[in-house]
Structure 1
Amino acid sequence: MQKKETILPRISSRRTFVKQTGLAAAAGMLAPSLFAQQPGSFRKTNAYLIENRLEAGTSILRGYIGGRLDQCFQQDILTKNFDHLVAPFRNRAETNLWQSEFWGKCMMAAVLAYQYQPDPQLKIKIDAAVAGLIATQTVDGYIGNYSAQARLKQWDIWGMKYCLLGLLEYFDLTNDKKSLDAAEKLTGYLMGEINRQGGKIVDKGNYRGMAASSVLLPVVRLSVATGNKQYLDFAEEIVKQWETPDGPQLIAKSATDVSKRFPRPKQWYSPEQGQKAYEMMSCYEGLLALYRLTGKDVYKQAVLNVFENIQDTEINIAGSGASAEMWFGGRERQTTPVYHYQETCVTVTWMQLCMALLKLTGDAKYAHAIETTYYNALMAALKSDGSTWAKYTPLNGERLPGSGQCGMDLNCCSANGPRGLFAVPGLVAMSSRDGITVNFFMEGTTAVRSPRGKRVKLVQTTDYPVSGKIAIRLEMNAPENMVLQVRIPGWSRQTLLLVNGTAYADVVPGAYAALERKWKTGDTISLELDMCGRVKVMGDQHRYFALLYGPLVLCRDTRFSGTNPGTVITPLNLNEPYPGFKKAAATADHCWVQLEAPFETENYKEQRDPPVTATFCDYASAGNGATASTFQTWMPLIFNAAKPG
Structure 2
Amino acid sequence: MMIDRRSLLKVAVVAPLATTATTGQAFAESAPPALRPFALRDVTLGGGVFADKRALMLAYARGYDVNRLVQVFRANAGLPTGGAVAPGGWEGLDGEANGNLRGHYTGHFLSMLAQAYGSTGEPVFAEKISTIVGALVECRAALRRDPVPLSVPGRFGTGLEFIRGSYQYLDLPPNVLGGSAAVTLSAWVKPTHAATWARIFDFGNDTTRYMYLTARNNNGVPRFAITTNGGGSEQAINGTASLPLGEWSHIAVTVEGTAGVLYVNGSQVAVNTAMSLNPAVLGQVRNNWVGRSNYAADPAFAGVLDDVNIWSRALTASEIAGLRNSPGKGDLASYSFDSGLSDATLRRTWGSPSHPGFLAAYPETQFITLETMTRSDYTVVWAPYYTAHKILKGLLDAYLNTGDARALDLATGMADWMYARLRKLSAEVLQRMWGLFSSGEFGGLVEAITDLHQITGNADYLALAKLFDLNSLIDACAANRDVLEGLHANQHIPIFTGLVRLHESTGEQRYLTAAKNFWDMVVPHRMYSIGGTSEREFWRARGAVASTLTDVNAETCCAHNMLKLSRSLFAHDRNPKYMDYFERALVNQILGSKQDQADPELPLVTYFIGLAPGSVRDYTPKQGTTCCEGTGMESATKYQDTVYFQHPEGLYVNLYMPSTVRWQNVTVTQTTAYPFEQASELRISGNATFDLHLRIPGWARKGVTVTINGSHHVGKPTPGSYLTISRAWRSGDTVRVEMPFTLRAEQALDRPDVQSLMYGPVHLVARDSRTAMLEFSLYRNATLSGDLVRSLTPVAGKPLHYTLDGVELAPFFEGTADPFHSYFRRVEPRVVFGGLDAGVANVVRDGTSFLDTVWSAAPFPTKTDFVTRVDRVADRFYAGEDRTRVTRTARHAPLWP
For normalisation by structure 1, the TM-score amounts to: 0.80
One-letter amino acid of the counterpart of residue 60, structure 1: L
2:494 pairs with 1:282: yes
1:427 match: 642
2:693 pairs with 1:485: yes
One-letter amino acid of the counterpart of residue 69, structure 1: R
Instruction: List per-residue Cα deviations over 1:237-283 (Å, max 9, x = no partner).
Output: 332xx22xxxx4323334222433xxx5xxxxxxxxxx111121111
One-letter amino acid of the counterpart of residue 823, structure 2: W
2:47 match: 62
Choose from 616, 620, 624 the match for 1:399.
616
One-letter amino acid of the counterpart of residue 812, structure 2: Y
Choose from 621, 630, 646 the match for 1:415.
630
Secondary structure of 1:378's counterpart equals helix
2:108 match: 105
> What is the Cα deviation at residue 228 of structure 1?
1.1
> What is the Cα deviation at residue 335 of structure 1?
6.5
> What is the Cα deviation at residue 369 of structure 1?
1.1
Point out the structure with the larger strand share.
2
One-letter amino acid of the counterpart of residue 482, structure 1: F
One-letter amino acid of the counterpart of residue 64, structure 1: V
Choose from 415, 419, 437 the match for 1:191.
419
Choose from 467, 490, 513 the match for 1:301.
513
* Identity score, percent: 19
One-letter amino acid of the counterpart of residue 89, structure 1: F
Distance change (3 Å), C-alpha of 1:327 and 1:185: same
Q: Measure, in 1, the Cα distance between the counterparts of 2:538 and 2:737.
A: 40
Q: Measure, in 2, the Cα distance between the counterparts of 1:404 and 1:64.
A: 24
1:270 match: none
> What is the Cα deviation at residue 490 of structure 1?
0.6
1:232 match: 462
Choose from 177, 198, 222 the match for 2:452.
222
Choose from 819, 822, 829 the match for 1:630.
819
Structure 2, unpaired ranges of 5+: 1-5, 18-25, 78-92, 145-355, 371-380, 831-840, 845-897
Q: Is the 8 A contact 1:355 1:370 kept in 2?
A: yes
2:14 match: 14
2:660 match: 446
Of structures 1 and 2, the larger Rg is shown by 2
Instruction: List per-residue Cα deviations over 1:143-168 (Å, max 9, x = no partner).
Output: 11233433343322221121111111
Equivalent positions of 1:98-177 (< 5 A) are 98-137=101-140, 138-139=143-144, 140-152=356-368, 153=370, 154=381, 155-177=383-405
1:602 match: none
Secondary structure of 1:410's counterpart equals coil
One-letter amino acid of the counterpart of residue 560, structure 2: V
Q: Measure, in 2, the Cα distance between the counterparts of 1:580 and 1:16.
A: 48
Structure 1, unpaired ranges of 5+: 1-5, 18-44, 265-274, 598-611
> What is the Cα deviation at residue 400 of structure 1?
3.4
Q: Measure, in 1, the Cα distance between the counterparts of 2:635 and 2:481.
A: 27
Distance change (3 Å), C-alpha of 1:148 and 1:513: closer
2:777 match: 570
1:272 match: none
> What is the Cα deviation at residue 356 of structure 1?
1.8
One-letter amino acid of the counterpart of residue 106, structure 2: W
Distance change (3 Å), C-alpha of 1:318 and 1:551: same
> How many pairs were matched up?
559
> What is the Cα deviation at residue 235 of structure 1?
2.0
Instruction: List per-residue Cα deviations over 1:328-365 (Å, max 9, x = no partner).
Output: 13753246532411111111111111122233333322
For normalisation by structure 2, the TM-score amounts to: 0.58
Distance change (3 Å), C-alpha of 1:69 and 1:541: closer
Q: Measure, in 2, the Cα distance between the counterparts of 1:46 and 1:429.
A: 20
Structure 1, 134-143 or 535-544: larger mean CA deviation = 535-544
Q: Measure, in 2, the Cα distance between the counterparts of 1:519 and 1:102.
A: 46
Q: Is the 8 A contact 1:9 1:447 kept in 2?
A: no
> What is the Cα deviation at residue 587 of structure 1?
4.6
One-letter amino acid of the counterpart of residue 545, structure 1: Q
Choose from 190, 203, 210 the match for 2:432.
203
Instruction: List per-residue Cα deviations over 1:45-73 (Å, max 9, x = no partner).
Output: 96433333133141222122221211221
Q: Is the 8 A contact 1:315 1:330 kept in 2?
A: no
2:558 match: 346
Q: Is the 8 A contact 1:475 1:521 kept in 2?
A: yes
Choose from 19, 38, 50 the match for 2:31.
50
Distance change (3 Å), C-alpha of 1:357 and 1:208: same
Distance change (3 Å), C-alpha of 1:424 and 1:361: farther
Secondary structure of 1:556's counterpart equals strand
> What is the Cα deviation at residue 448 of structure 1?
2.9
Secondary structure of 2:432's counterpart equals coil
1:470 match: 680
Q: Measure, in 1, the Cα distance between the counterparts of 2:689 and 2:105.
A: 46
2:503 pairs with 1:291: yes
Distance change (3 Å), C-alpha of 1:335 and 1:572: farther
Secondary structure of 1:312's counterpart equals coil
Q: Measure, in 2, the Cα distance between the counterparts of 1:300 and 1:201.
A: 22
Secondary structure of 1:142's counterpart equals coil
2:481 pairs with 1:256: yes
Distance change (3 Å), C-alpha of 1:256 and 1:388: same
Q: Measure, in 2, the Cα distance between the counterparts of 1:332 and 1:431.
A: 37
2:585 pairs with 1:373: yes
Distance change (3 Å), C-alpha of 1:350 and 1:296: same
Q: Measure, in 2, the Cα distance between the counterparts of 1:516 and 1:423.
A: 29
2:854 pairs with 1:644: no
Secondary structure of 1:328's counterpart equals coil
